[in-house]
Amino acid sequence: MSGRAPAYRHGWYQVAFERELTGEVSAASVGATALVVLRTPGGVRVADAACPHRGAHLGYGARFRSGALVCPFHGFRVGFGEPSDEGLCVREYHALTVGGLVFVQMSDVHDNGYAKVMENLQATHLLVPGFAMTVRAPSELVIENAFDRGHFRPVHGIGIGRAFEMRPSQHGELVFEGVFELPSSRWQRAQPGRELSDVPFVARAFSPGIVVSELGGAYPYTVITAATPTEDGSCVIRLSLALPLDAAAGPPRPELQEYLLRRSRDGLEKDRIVWEHLSATSDAPDSVLDAPVREFRAFCRLFATAAGT
């Protein structure tokens, strides 16, 4: 795979797990946009990383002193969003930190209700920060997978009990729902007299880089899949879980949390084999089966450079 990341200027992306921010100042990126991440007592803040003086990356070696970043190249003070006493500043972005997950909104449009959804999840679920993996594939291809109903049986052995159907959006997100036929597992028990369980599935994309997938039934849980583009056209996947809180029984046991994360990683590894070897000349989904994929790609176009500006 080759090429550069698409020029998405809008929408939410995950830039880190909070545990990855080992210092006060860290580096991050969304595609070609270099970012500096700042940990403060009031929370995590994110801004453009290029010093406006000579372009030094503030995520590498800058120090935060008296409300400004001190550039590691020439020592100028650079303000976060507001000019410093030396008249320099970098653009600050809306950052969201929930349950150890750090997100950034790349513009003030196309929020699509994501911040509220995550805050509600944090109030009603145990958020489990998961794992990160780099894949040599575009970020939107990873998120598209949630809407590609045709791949679930061949790649993952998951049957479709009811075809995916598009549902009305509440805040501008893309919503599809269907029913999976899942075999019995340590998490999902089969229904009496059956080898498979019918599990309702709802996928909600909030940007080309984030999909929240809800698996219902007797043992519901939610998967938060974030795929953040890198400058070379690859992406970093960060996958986390949201598990319902049970006031009587407490949170699910750690071994069950790890089991779900292992299953999720195994699924992505199977997908990776396909993603990293796709032919660039065979990319025209036109069957009825591909209708959700076409809707997702139309949704992604709303976030391109020319959109919303």
Do both 211 and 167 map to the same domain?
Answer: yes
What are the angstrom distances between the C-alpha of 270 and each of 9, 170, 265, 274? 30, 33, 9, 7
Q: How confident is the model at residue 307 (pLDDT cuts 50, 70, 90)?
A: very low
Q: Give DSSP secondary structure letters for 12-49.
A: EEEEEEGGG--SSEEEEEEBTEEEEEEEETTEEEEEE-
State the chain's maximal CA–CA distance in angstroms: 73
CB distance 194 to 183 below 8 Å: no
- Domain extent, residue 233, equals 114-301
Q: How far apart are CA 86 and CA 139, in angstroms?
A: 38
Average pLDDT value for residue range 1-23: 81
Average pLDDT of the chain is 90
Question: Is residue 3 situated within a structural domain?
Answer: no
Do both 152 and 238 map to the same domain?
Answer: yes
Structure confidence by residue, pLDDT tens digits, 214-255 = 999 878 899 999 999 999 999 999 999 999 887 556 677 888
Structure confidence by residue, pLDDT tens digits, 137-188 = 999 999 999 999 999 999 999 989 888 999 999 899 999 999 998 877 766 6
**Angle (nearest 5°) at CA 36 between 32 and 40:** 155
CB distance 215 to 223 below 8 Å: yes
Do both 179 and 244 map to the same domain?
Answer: yes
User: How many domains in the chain?
Assistant: 2
Do both 56 and 197 map to the same domain?
Answer: no
CB distance 90 to 79 below 8 Å: yes
**What confidence score (pLDDT) does residue 218 get?**
79
Structure confidence by residue, pLDDT tens digits, 72-123 = 999 999 999 999 999 999 999 999 999 999 999 999 989 999 999 999 999 9
Average pLDDT value for residue range 297-307: 80
| Element spanning 105, H or E | strand 101-105
Q: How far apart are CA 24 and CA 65, in angstroms?
A: 11
Q: How far apart are CA 8 and CA 139, in angstroms?
A: 11
Place of tokens 């320099």: 88
Question: Is residue 308 situated within a structural domain?
Answer: no
Do both 158 and 269 map to the same domain?
Answer: yes
Residue 135 zone, left/alpha/beta (φ > 0; ψ -120 to 50; rest): beta
Question: Is residue 42 situated within a structural domain?
Answer: yes
Do both 70 and 124 map to the same domain?
Answer: no
Do both 145 and 80 map to the same domain?
Answer: no
**CATH at residue 282:** 3.90.380.10
Question: Is residue 51 situated within a structural domain?
Answer: yes
Question: Is residue 306 situated within a structural domain?
Answer: no
Place of tokens 């509600």: 120
What are the angstrom distances between the C-alpha of 40 and each of 25, 82, 95? 9, 16, 12
Residue 6: is its pLDDT beyond 60?
Answer: no
Which of 48, 78, 105 finishes a domain?
105
What are the angstrom distances between the C-alpha of 83 and each of 73, 99, 270, 305? 18, 31, 48, 27
Which of 105, 125, 157 finishes a domain?
105
Question: Is residue 2 situated within a structural domain?
Answer: no
Do both 101 and 184 map to the same domain?
Answer: no
**What confidence score (pLDDT) does residue 196 get?**
78
Residue 207 zone, left/alpha/beta (φ > 0; ψ -120 to 50; rest): beta
Average pLDDT value for residue range 197-203: 92
Q: How far apart are CA 281 and CA 91, in angstroms?
A: 39
Do both 61 and 146 map to the same domain?
Answer: no
Structure confidence by residue, pLDDT tens digits, 44-69 = 999 999 999 999 999 999 999 999 99
Question: Is residue 209 situated within a structural domain?
Answer: yes
What are the angstrom distances between the C-alpha of 246 and each of 100, 124, 256? 21, 9, 14
Cβ count within 10 A of residue 290: 17
Which of 55, 79, 105 finishes a domain?
105
With 0-12 / 13-18 / 19 or more C-beta atoms within 10 angstroms meaning exposed / middle / buried, residue 233 is middle
**CATH at residue 37:** 2.102.10.10
Question: Is residue 165 situated within a structural domain?
Answer: yes
Do both 96 and 123 map to the same domain?
Answer: no
**What confidence score (pLDDT) does residue 252 get?**
75
Which letter does DSSP use for residue 220 in this model?
-
Do both 28 and 89 map to the same domain?
Answer: yes
Do both 94 and 135 map to the same domain?
Answer: no
Find, among 221, 240, 206, 205, the residue nearest to 19 by Cα. 240
CB distance 275 to 141 below 8 Å: yes
Percentage of the chain modeled with pLDDT above 90: 76
